[in-house]
Structures are given as C-alpha cells and as structure tokens.
C-alpha cells in the first residue's frame, strides 16, 4: 500500500468538506473506501464518472485500494461518447451517479488482460471522447505525489480549494498530494464566475487556489488581486503557459502580499507535474516554466535527436523521471502492454534553457507553420493578440501560408489583422481573422482546436 491510500492513519483529521455541507474525517472516508473496495474484484476495469463530490472520490480511492483499474471520465460526458468508450474497452463496472446517489453498476464483462503495474487510465486534457488514454502505474502516482508534496511543502494544515475536475490530471494531483499529507480537501463544482465559489472559499478558509491559464485570465478580469481573501497562502498555475505579462503581474502582487505563487508544467503522460518555477524566481523570470521537479530531469534535443547543451537554443523538451507513464491505450488489448516509455518522455514542447538552467516553453512542435518561408508559432500569435487586446478571447489554427485567427469581438477583426501583419512583418494576406461567439474549451479550460477546425470549415 502506498502512503496516500492509508487514510485511516490520519484518524479524526477532517479529510473532506464539500459544497453540499458534507464533512468527513479520514477515518470515515477510509471506512467508505474500504466498504466499496470490498465489492470491486481485483484487476477489474471500472469506469468512474466523476464530479467533485465525496462519492466520486470514494469510487476512485476504492478502485486503487482494490487494485482495480479505473478510467476517470467527466460525469457530464455525452451519452454517445460514453457508449463508444464502453464498446471500445468493455469495462466490468461503472461507478456513476444515479437518482438516488452513486452506484456500482455491473456490466457483466470479463476483466481484460492488464499489466500488473497498471493503476489508472486518464484522458489527456484535450480529449473529447477519443479512445486514446494514458496508462499510469502505481509507481507513477506514488512518485509524482511525493515530488509535488516536496516542492510545494504540503502539510496537514493545508485546505486546498479542489475545484478543477478530478478526471483532469491537475485536479487529481491536488487530491492525491493533499490526501497523502492528511490535509482537508474543499471539494466544489462551482467556478470563479459564481458567487457560491467565493462564499465556499471564504467560509472554509481555503489556503490554496489553483488554475489553468484560462482560469487566471478570468480571475484577472474579476479583479482577484483586489479581493480580501486572508486565508490564502499559496497560488498555483499549470495546464499551459500563462501570458508573460499576467505572470509578471501576478508574481509581483503575490510577492508584495507575502503569498507563494507557483508556475508549474506537466502533462497526463507524466502523471501530472514535470517542472515548476520556485517562488523566489517568479518575479525575475516572467514567462519561464522553471526547473524539473524533485526526482526528475530535463534535456533539450534538436531535430536529429542530438542533445542541446548551449543556453538560449531552442529544442524539443525531453523529461526523465519515475512519473513518466507507461504509454497510451487506444483499445482494450493495449491494457496488457507494459512500460513502453521507460522513464523518458519527449514532450512535443519546444523550449529554451537560460544561463541559470531555467526552461521557458516557446511553443508546440505541431503548432508551428511555415508562412511565406518564415517559421510562425500559433501559440505565440495567440499571446500577442491577448496581450494587445486583453478584452478578447483568441485562438489560432491554420496551414502553411494560411493563418486563421478566431476572436470574440467582430469590431476588432481589422485591427487584429493589421496588428499581426505589422508585428510579425508578414503580408496581411497570410492572416484571416474571423469573429465567433465563443472559443470552445474543455472542462480544464483548454482550447478545443479540433472543434474549432471543424467549425471553421463552414466559415
């Protein structure tokens, strides 16, 4: 048994307070988990349909304790997508919400052959019902939990606001790391745009708040830095690169207030975290991602796979560590595969390393185009537009010589096109700027570029 499954050792410490006024001690949570785990056969496959509730958490923990393998899915997944996934993987059980509460549904399927290391299946943050999932091991969960606890210095006094979806690796890492230390999880399904979110945070004296870049953009618009939230001591950001300008503003404000503000970097393929920017460096290095987590290491490679040793040169970021997942699965038979990555993950992110050894993500290998012979990063274009036109939402897609920019204000299309042409020193014909009602995002706040491409076909 790994540390974060041994819930009973924290006894009467409060484990969970949720937004339905449910409060459980670690002993009570352990009893619920043990009771459900006794009903789940070892090495069975369970689909767990999650929201941020006690029942969802009990289902996840019970599967781990029973040594069953669970696929975490959004409780609000479209029925047709759930049907496709059930057809693909043929799980033996569903743990899902019913009219009378959560229930374990027996689907009368034999368990698939599964590698003995396999603990958890989780969709990548951009997945929208695709059968492609990440295979995570018990060692992955254990190693990443220990690393995050280490660099965030988490103890039993913490009370994190757990509002990010638990079927998203960032949200799940908040749960794992704080349960490992006997802290109190404040579970809510509210979002920052709802008054209930702030009421719940204040009433329960949350000590930490986490968010993806989109979350922090919303918080910035809500004038978060003007709010009186005396219980908060720690802020964390992951799930993509924060605009350097907003990074700088938040870092300076947090430093002035005596708060800890952590920029972090990760992926489902590495269980959760790979890198972080130490608090003492957040002000001086706006835009930087930082250094590898304890127990891990980074390297940069050129297009031929040669390691880049010089600072300031761009290459693909490669991560090494015990939290690197086993690999992907796209079908039921893939669950029998062993460790295909052997502790090495080529991230697909392009980065540079400065003379102090700190890394900055500059884009994705797949998010670069050749435009009139020039290499253009779509992520960089989005950052340019968002910084110049802060009231907009923006997303960029395209093909070589054809960049398509989508914004949420029809009156700004001409201004955005002119700004990009001048700033990037490219002919204006390279850019098509369209206005749409909203930029579609998943539950984790990440842009759904595939849906945008489909949507754009009719424009």
Nearest to 390 by CA among 216, 225, 264: 216
Task: Tally Cβ neighbours within 10 Å of residue 453.
Answer: 12
Task: Give tens-digit pLDDT for 237-251.
Answer: 998 889 899 999 999
Task: Give tens-digit pLDDT for 283-328.
Answer: 999 999 999 999 999 999 998 899 999 999 999 999 999 999 999 9
pLDDT band, residue 127 (cuts 50/70/90): very low
Domain parsing of the chain, residue ranges: 3-360, 372-456
Helical packing angle, 169-180 and 138-152, nearest 10°: 70
Contact in structure between 178 and 148 (CB atoms under 8 Å): no
Q: In this model, does residue 4 exceed pLDDT 80?
A: no
Residue with tokens 């000590």: 207
Contact in structure between 325 and 134 (CB atoms under 8 Å): yes
pTM: 0.86
Q: What are residue 374's DSSP bridge partners?
A: 371
Q: In this model, does residue 73 exceed pLDDT 60?
A: yes
Average pLDDT, the chain: 93
Give 372-456's CATH code, choosing from 3.40.47.10, 3.30.930.10, 3.40.50.300, 3.30.300.30.
3.30.300.30
Task: Give tens-digit pLDDT for 438-457.
Answer: 998 887 778 888 888 877 76
- Contacts of residue 37, Cβ cutoff 8 Å, sequence gap at least 6: 62, 63, 65, 66
Nearest to 86 by CA among 40, 32, 129: 129
Sheet holding 118-123, edge to edge: 101-106, 93-98, 45-50, 69-74, 118-123, 133-137, 327-329
- Tell me what pLDDT residue 426 has: 84
The CATH H-level superfamily of 3-360 is: ANL, N-terminal domain (3.40.50.12780)
23-25 and 185-187 strand pairing = unpaired
- For the CA atoms of 63, 68, 73, 75, the dihedral, rounded to the nearest 10 degrees, stands at -50
């Amino acid at each position: 048994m790994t540390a974060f499954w041994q819930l009973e050792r924290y006894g009467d410490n409060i484990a969970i307070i949720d937004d339905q006024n449910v409060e459980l001690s670690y002993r009570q949570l352990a009893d619920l988990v043990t009771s459900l785990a006794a009903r789940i056969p070892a090495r069975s496959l369970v689909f767990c349909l999650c929201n941020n509730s006690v029942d969802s958490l009990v289902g996840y923990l019970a599967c781990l304790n029973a040594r069953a393998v669970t696929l975490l899915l959004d409780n609000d997944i479209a029925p047709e997508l759930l049907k496709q996934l059930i057809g693909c993987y043929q799980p033996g059980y569903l743990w899902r919400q019913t009219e009378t509460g959560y229930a374990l549904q027996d689907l009368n399927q034999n368990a698939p052959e599964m590698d003995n290391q396999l603990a958890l299946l989780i969709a990548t943050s951009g997945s929208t019902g695709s059968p492609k999932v990440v295979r995570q091991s018990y060692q992955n969960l254990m190693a990443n939990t220990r690393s995050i606890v280490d660099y965030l210095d988490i103890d039993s006094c913490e009370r994190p606001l757990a509002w990010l979806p638990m079927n998203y690796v960032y949200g799940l890492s908040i749960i794992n790391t704080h349960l490992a230390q006997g802290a109190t999880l404040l579970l809510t399904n509210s979002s920052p745009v709802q008054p209930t979110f702030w009421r719940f945070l204040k009433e329960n004296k949350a000590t930490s708040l986490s968010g993806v870049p989109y979350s922090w953009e919303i918080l910035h618009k809500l004038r978060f830095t003007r709010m009186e939230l005396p219980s908060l001591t720690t802020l964390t950001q992951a799930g993509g690169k924060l605009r350097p300008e907003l990074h700088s503003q938040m870092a300076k404000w947090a430093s002035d207030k005596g708060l800890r503000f952590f920029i972090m970097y990760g992926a489902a393929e590495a269980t959760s975290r790979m890198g972080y920017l130490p608090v003492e460096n957040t002000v001086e290095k706006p835009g930087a991602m930082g250094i590898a987590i304890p127990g891990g290491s980074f390297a940069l490679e050129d297009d031929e796979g040669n390691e880049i040793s010089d600072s300031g040169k761009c290459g693909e970021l490669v991560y090494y560590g015990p939290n690197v997942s086993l690999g992907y699965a796209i079908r039921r038979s893939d669950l029998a595969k062993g460790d295909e990555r052997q502790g090495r993950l080529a991230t697909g992110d392009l980065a540079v390393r400065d003379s102090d050894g700190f890394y900055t993500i500059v884009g994705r290998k797949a998010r670069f185009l050749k435009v009139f012979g020039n290499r253009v990063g779509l992520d960089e274009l989005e950052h340019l537009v968002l910084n110049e036109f802060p009231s907009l939402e923006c997303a960029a897609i395209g093909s070589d010589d054809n960049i398509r920019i989508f914004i949420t204000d029809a009156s700004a299309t001409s201004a955005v096109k002119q700004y990009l042409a001048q700033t990037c020193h490219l002919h204006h014909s390279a850019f098509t700027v369209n206005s749409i009602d909203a930029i579609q995002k998943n539950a984790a706040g990440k842009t759904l570029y595939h849906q945008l491409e489909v949507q754009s076909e009719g424009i």
